[in-house]
Structure formats: structure tokens, C-alpha cells
Amino acid sequence: NAGVTQTPKFQVLKTGQSMTLQCAQDMNHNSMYWYRQDPGMGLRLIYYSASEGTTDKGEVPNGYNVSRLNKREFSLRLESAAPSQTSVYFCASSAQPTPYEQYFGPGTRLTVT
């Protein structure tokens, strides 16, 4: 089983450039999430999608947009990258309504110069 996959694994952007991080899951999960992980901050929720066709803001949504393309895929877009968006980005999925156990992808390491 592939589980949760993310592309790319690494990316370097210049300030102002845009890019889309891709995420896909093959577990037929309804809910999908995007987190960022920064040293000393823990993981913080950027956006989530409770089900196909819905998206909602998490704790740190500014500077990001998301698209739930279908049940399998959930993408995260940086329209104009800033150095503060240098981070490791994780996608996760979980089943509903129970038990909401989350499964994570391997992450995308993004550097904005």
C-alpha cells in the first residue's frame, strides 16, 4: 500500500515564486489535512478538508490556498512564496466518522530564499 504520497520531496523557491504541493491517498479516507512543521513549534494545521468538495482554514492559513481535487487528492498552493514559509510540509488523511486516526505522508522540505 502506498498510503499517503507527497510530491515533490524537496523544493527551493525564490521569494515571490509560486508552487503547488501535491498529496494523494489510496485509503479511501474522507478527511485530508495539510500541516507545516517548524523547529520548536510542533506541527500546525494549515488547511483541512473534511470531505470531498469542502475545505476549511486551520491555525495558519495565510499565504496558502488548497484544492480538494477529488477524494484521493488534496493540493496546497503557495501563490507568492515568502522566506517565512520555509518549512517541512506534511499531508495527512483520516477516516470518518471514527476513529479519525491520522496517517501521514513523507513530507516536502521547502526552502524559500
CA 111, 47, 69, 18 dihedral sign is: negative
Among 56, 69, 79, 113, binds another protein (CB under 8 A): 56
Q: 48 vs 85, which CB is nearer to another protein? A: 48
Q: How many CB atoms lie within 10 A of CB 32?
A: 28
Stretch that binds another protein, among 11-19, 41-49, 61-69, 76-84 (CB under 8 A): 41-49
Shortest Å distance, C-beta 31 to another protein: 7
Residues 66, 55: contact at Cβ < 8 Å? yes
Among 11, 19, 52, 58, binds another protein (CB under 8 A): 58
Stretch that binds another protein, among 12-20, 21-29, 76-84, 90-98 (CB under 8 A): 90-98
Among 33, 34, 64, 74, binds another protein (CB under 8 A): 33
Alpha helices in the chain, H assignment, sequence order: none
Which are the contacts of 91, defined by CB distance < 8 A and separation ≥ 6?
A: 4, 6, 21, 23, 25, 32, 33, 34, 35, 74, 76, 104, 105
Stretch that binds another protein, among 11-19, 28-36, 63-71, 74-82 (CB under 8 A): 28-36
Shortest Å distance, C-beta 99 to another protein: 6
Cα dihedral: 81, 30, 3, 6 (round 10):
-10
Q: Which amino acid is at 75?
A: S
Per rule CB under 8 A, count of chain residues that contact another protein? 26
